[in-house]
Chains A and B, each alone.
Chain A
Amino acid sequence: QTVVTQEPSFSVSPGGTVTLTCGLSSGSVYLSYYPSWYQQTPGQAPRTLIYNTNTRSSGVPDRFSGSMLGNKAALTITGAQADDESDYYCVLYMGSGIWVFGGGTKVTVL
């Protein structure tokens, strides 16, 4: 069973920077897993932020950026704002039509 790991929670100050990571319980995340990131606020459908590791989805502010950090995918929020307070999910494409979601990271801005 493939397990995608994310930090359960992070706190960031307004205007600050936070980096969330996305790993695999066994092994490394590779570009060929096409990491994508989603933002979700309570009661809403997820919103696509980043796909293919580092491509911002249409309309996503440039304070959100995706990258690889060592053997993990990463999402960085630079200059955090109050409305960035959300849950963030990493998703990896494992090939053959199969995706795996991470457990999500709850980001608090305070």
Chain B
Amino acid sequence: QLQLQESGPGLVKPSETLSLTCTVSVASISSSNYYWGWIRQPPGKGLEWIGSIYYSGSTYYNPSLKSRVTVSVDTSKNQFSLKLNSVTAADTAVYFCASANIVATKYYFDYWGQGTLVTVSS
């Protein structure tokens, strides 16, 4: 069973860059069966898709965050990463990484990391 694990700082200062990494286990990040995605959830609020990446490096972003987001992949480490710049308190959230299964026209998130809380505060 595919496993994902987020890692990165739990505290980021306003105006700085939030950086998180997701390590994928059991499956290869170079698989053509998946997009790899980031989703976040502010405290007490709903889930929001941030962006996704294909192993080839093709990226797809939420239009509302596109100007501040970069998702990248490191196939040698079986990892993908999120950078969100110019953060504010509104970016405080639990950040999840997830695998998006695209085999046979499924297009859904099948495995999720446990999530990591990132707080934006000085």
Determine whether A23 belongs to the interface, using a CB cutoff of 8 Å to chain B: no
Q: Is the CB of B106 within 8 A of A34?
A: yes
Question: CB-nearest residue of chain B relative to A51?
Answer: B108
**Considering only CB atoms, which chain B residue lies closest to A37 in the complex?**
B108
Q: Is the CB of A98 within 8 A of B108?
A: no
A34 CA to B101 CA, complexed, in Å: 12
Residues of A in contact with B, size category: 20 to 34
Number of interface residues of B (CB under 8 A): 28
- Known A-B contacts A1-B64, A45-B115, A89-B47; the reply to A99 vs B110 at CB < 8 A is no
B48 within 8 A of A: yes
Q: Is A52 an interface residue (CB 8 A)?
A: yes
**A interface residue numbers (CB < 8 A to B):** 1, 34, 36, 38, 40, 45-48, 51-52, 55, 57, 87, 89, 91, 93, 96-104
Q: Which residues of B contact A (CB under 8 A)?
A: 35, 37, 39, 46-49, 52, 54, 58-60, 62-64, 96, 100-101, 105-110, 112-115
